[in-house]
Amino acid sequence: MRIDVLTLFPEIFAPLFSHSIVGRAVDQGQIELAARDIRGYAQGRHRSVDDTPYGGGPGMVLRVDVLARAIADLRTDGSHVVLLDPAGRRLTQETVLRLAQKSHLVLVAGHYEGVDQRVESLVDEQLSIGDFILSGGEAAAWAVVDAVTRCQPGVISEDSLLEESFSSSGLLEAPQYTRPRRFGDLEVPTELLSGDHQAIFAWRQREALRRTWRLRPDLLQGLELSPWQRALVQTFEQRMNGSMGPGGSDRDGHENSGD
């Protein structure tokens, strides 16, 4: 897979492209990454890439003609061009998996006050990483690069991908623990120390559901829960409301009884 990032600050990406999982994927030839300077497509005496907005207002706006040349230079028959913009659809793991199937992504990172509205006609879709404002689209573009790279075959193990948050189950990942076994009053759950793979699997299934219910209940609204999952959610709610009497749950939502 190839990913090109169109940006005013290509130097930002050099260290990001050479470290951790992404760096290993590049070294192993599993993905090809490049940051392209938008200024290289500017023309005229001053080679300007932005200008003041028509109608007045603060800030500068990236010019459509400059971005049009940049996109045209990179686009091929198999390219998929994405504009990182607060107005875009929210990036989800489902979207990441779809983008990971593309042979070539072109990520357009806006900056300053934004981009000329007519750029929308030049891209295949617009994406946002959240309902907040960044100084530029570089951080958003990097989030897409990282998320898409780890989904490429062979970059990380398939088991890890399946167990990660927002993956096949749609739930958050179950809590993770490592040494030390005891930290103050907090201990590693006994199921994880049992060596019983079936018990560990059941614990992780239950705790992934509990963690999602506690931290991201909005995710459950879009899921078709099984009967046992619905029963567990009802149990969580009853314990939260105190209707099951004493011995409910600790501050992290884990059962004190160890059932």
pLDDT at 161: 61
Q: How many CA atoms lie within 13 A of 147 on its CB side?
A: 21
What does the mean pLDDT of the chain come to? 90
Tell me how far apart the alpha carbons of residues 171 and 56 are, in angstroms, rounded to a whole number: 46
Measured CA to CA, the distance from residue 151 to residue 113 in angstroms comes to: 32
> CB count, 10 Å around CB of 89?
11
How many other β-carbons are positioned within 10 Å of the β-carbon of residue 96? Answer: 19
* Cα 209 from Cα 224, distance rounded (Å): 12
- Tens digit of each residue's pLDDT (9 = 90 or more) over 99-140: 999 999 999 999 888 999 999 999 999 999 999 989 999 999
Q: Which two tokens stand for residue 119?
A: 């750029």
Strand partners, 50: 62
Would you list the domain boundaries of the chain?
Answer: 2-156, 163-240
Q: How large is the average pLDDT for residues 214-231?
A: 94
Minimum mean pLDDT among 6-15, 54-63, 73-82, 249-258: which range? Answer: 249-258
Q: How far is CA 196 from CA 190, 202, 210, in A?
A: 10, 10, 21
pTM of the model: 0.82
- Of 111 and 70, the structure prediction assigns the larger pLDDT to 70
Nearest to 30 by CA among 173, 129, 155: 155
Strand duo 50-51 + 61-62: pairing: antiparallel
List pLDDT tens digits, range 202-222.
999 999 999 999 999 999 998
Q: Domain 2-156 is classified in which CATH homologous superfamily?
A: SPOUT methyltransferase, trefoil knot domain (3.40.1280.10)
pLDDT (0 to 100) of residue 1: 97
Across 82-90, average pLDDT: 95
pLDDT at residue number 243: 58
Residue pair 141/36 in contact (Cβ under 8 Å)? The answer is no
Domain 163-240, classified CATH 3.30.930.10, yes or no: no
Determine the pLDDT at residue 12: 96
